[in-house]
Amino acid sequence: MTVLAPHDVAIVAQSIARMGESVFADLECLRAVTVAALTEDPSRRGLGPLEPLCADLLTRPGQLPVGCGFVAARDALRDAPYWLEWWTVPGNGQASVPSRLQVVVDPDADDFRDYTSLPWFAVPMSTGARHTTGPYVDYLCTDEYALTFSVPVTAGGAFRGIVGADVFVRHVEQRTLSQIEALPGTVTLVNSQGRVLVSNDGVTDTGSLVRDVPVAAMWAAPDGDVVDQGGAVLYRCGDLPLALLVTR
Amino acid sequence: MTKTTPARLSRGARAAVFAPLDPLGRAEVVTRRLSDAIALGLLHDGEQLPSESALAERFGVSTVTVREALTVLRQRGLVETRRGRAGGSFVRAPEDPAVAVLRARLRELSLGDIRDLCDHYAAINGAAARLAADRASPEDVERMDHDTGLLAEASDAGSRRRAEGQFHVELAAAAQSARLTKEEIALQTEVAPLLWMGYDDESARRQAVERHRQITVAVTRGDSSAARSAAEAHVVDGLRRLSRLHRELARG
């Protein structure tokens, strides 16, 4: 019989929470610089000060994000109806100079995608609060299975867009799998919908939805870091919409 | 080095290996180069083309080949030839260049090529639909619904193509597969514009909207085999329209 060690599970959940919070801390700097830039000159050129900060954020040793930047609300810039000031690195472990993401921003083009309806933009726009999207296939920026952390940007009392950071799910796995493997029992890192990031049980695939445990319903339970239901226990990763699900 | 294993290819596979690399004739290459340039707006409406001998020299082909290409372009209404002192060949840019270039490309494909493209596209879409039925969240389904609504409301060819493409990208993304999504996007640039060009026809668009609903309902129910069947049938609808259009173009 497996003996669960709840204390250890909670520690791993906390370390995952810290990982996410460090991304949000970086985004807080990026948000402040963006607000200043937009107040000074709300144009593509005016966003110049973002580049060195994004470059630093992506290339500092041990950094998790592979992409970050500012995504403008419709007509937030005076010289472009849509705009992504977004920088990326390949995320393959090789040191490299960040490059600016090129996206179709002409609303009349056939392959234009109106990003303002995508969750990483639409949710912070409507709630005014930070948001973690995914895991999902990020076909606009990275073409990879990713998480996107985003924070709304307001200036002069109006919503101007979001600052965000992309993180590859495989990088989250690299940083968590050894800890999760070391835990006794079946442990799966899931989002608030029960979408799997990584599991130690060998049959629960990344990207699948946990269906035998009602994760979304457990998530809606009153506050508390640990939710126990019918033998399945959810250890929340702080305030992130991520949790470790422990099943027998 | 490891010893080479004897090839055990079927006759069909061997034939594919040794298939001609460039099936297009020189006149067709010239035709395509010029019609693409017209469609892309590189050659403007009313612009005079260089003389036949100058074109032959530039392209490195014979004047006979150039004449052959110009005849085809004239038949397609992309070039007009005027006689007399101020004569020559003049560009006639069509109103919707995208459709014109698609028609030109459709002419060059064989019915077998079209079927093969659709087989590839149906394989990717069918697999995406099957996996999406297993893995889609309510939010994923919401976006698919939203895109179906866009297709139902689209008023011009461009927004129809865009709504159609967006639905399929969302379907592949709902499968949670980055590779299938990338493959879907890559294939879309090649096959989707052709496949959905028949949307000028209102009944074709209604049929497509209905297929999108079938796929979305099956994904919502978690019915992976129904999702796959509907996605494959959707591509076959396009294939039928496309081969009909191809045969019409061949009749001239």
pLDDT tier, B17 (very low <50, low <70, confident <90, very high otherwise): low
**Interchain pair A139, B177: CB under 8 A:** no
**Interchain pair A145, B176: CB under 8 A:** yes
**Interchain pair B169, A110: CB under 8 A:** no
- Supply the DSSP symbol for A77: B
Provide, as residue numbers in chain A, all residues whose Cβ is less than 8 Å from the Cβ of B134: 208-209
Say which range, A236-245, B12-21, B172-181, has the weakest mean pLDDT. Answer: B12-21
Mutate to test the interface with A, among B101, B137, B170, B176 (most CBs of A within 10 A): B176
Closest alpha carbon within chain A to B136: A209
pLDDT tens-digit readout, A185-203: 999 999 999 999 999 998 9
Q: Which residue has the higher pLDDT, A224 or B250?
A: B250
**Residue pairs between chains A and B whose CB atoms are closer than 8 Å:** 49
Provide, as residue numbers in chain B, all residues whose Cβ is less than 8 Å from the Cβ of A112: 162
Burial class (CB in 10 A: 0-12, 13-18, 19+), B159: middle
State mean pLDDT over A215-236: 85
The pLDDT value given to residue B24: 54
- Per the prediction, chain B carries an average pLDDT of 83
* The pTM of the whole model exceeds 0.90: no
Q: Which residue has the higher pLDDT, A77 or A104?
A: A77
Query: Taking a C-beta distance cutoff of 8 angstroms, is the pair A146, A136 a contact?
Result: yes
Which amino acid is located at A130 in the chain? R
> Nearest CB to A139: which of B137, B162, B181?
B181
User: pLDDT over 90 for what percent of chain B?
Assistant: 35
The pLDDT value given to residue A93: 77
List Cβ neighbours of B42 (8 Å cut-off, separation of 6 or more). none
Mutate to test the interface with B, among A117, A118, A139, A204 (most CBs of B within 10 A): A139
- Per the prediction, chain A carries an average pLDDT of 92
pLDDT tens-digit readout, A120-177: 999 999 999 999 999 999 988 888 999 999 999 999 999 999 999 999 999 999 999 9
Closest alpha carbon within chain A to B139: A119
**pLDDT above 70: residue B7:** no
Query: Taking a C-beta distance cutoff of 8 angstroms, is the pair A145, A43 a contact?
Result: no
Provide, as residue numbers in chain B, all residues whose Cβ is less than 8 Å from the Cβ of A241: none
Burial class (CB in 10 A: 0-12, 13-18, 19+), A177: middle
pLDDT tens-digit readout, B19-59: 444 445 788 888 877 876 776 556 777 888 988 888 888 88
Radius of gyration of chain B (CA): 22
The pLDDT value given to residue B97: 58
How large is the ipTM?
0.81
pLDDT tens-digit readout, A5-50: 567 999 999 999 999 999 999 999 999 999 999 999 999 999 999 9
The pLDDT value given to residue A6: 64
Closest alpha carbon within chain A to B135: A208
- Integer Cα distance of B136 and B142 in angstroms: 10
**pLDDT above 60: residue B68:** yes
**Interchain pair A113, B178: CB under 8 A:** no
Could you tell me which of B196, B144, B183, B138 has the C-alpha nearest to residue B166?
A: B144
Provide, as residue numbers in chain A, all residues whose Cβ is less than 8 Å from the Cβ of B169: 139
The pLDDT value given to residue B22: 44
> Nearest CB to B135: which of A111, A139, A209?
A209
The Cα of A226 is separated from the nearest Cα of chain B by a number of Å equal to 24
**Interchain pair A145, B178: CB under 8 A:** yes
**Interchain pair A137, B137: CB under 8 A:** no
**Interchain pair B162, A111: CB under 8 A:** yes
The pLDDT value given to residue A71: 98
The pLDDT value given to residue B212: 96
> Nearest CB to B166: which of A113, A119, A145?
A113
Q: How far is CA B173 from CA A119, A135, A189, B119, B133, in A?
A: 13, 11, 20, 20, 12
The pLDDT value given to residue A190: 98
Written as six digits, the tokens of A72 are: 């403008």
The pLDDT value given to residue B95: 59
- Supply the DSSP symbol for A140: T
**Interchain pair B162, A207: CB under 8 A:** no
The pLDDT value given to residue A95: 76
**pLDDT above 50: residue B2:** no
The pLDDT value given to residue B1: 40
Query: Taking a C-beta distance cutoff of 8 angstroms, is the pair B197, B96 a contact?
Result: no
> Nearest CB to B134: which of A110, A206, A208?
A208
The Cα of A38 is separated from the nearest Cα of chain B by a number of Å equal to 31
Burial class (CB in 10 A: 0-12, 13-18, 19+), A244: buried
State mean pLDDT over B111-140: 94
The pLDDT value given to residue A91: 87
Q: Which residue has the higher pLDDT, B132 or B159?
A: B132
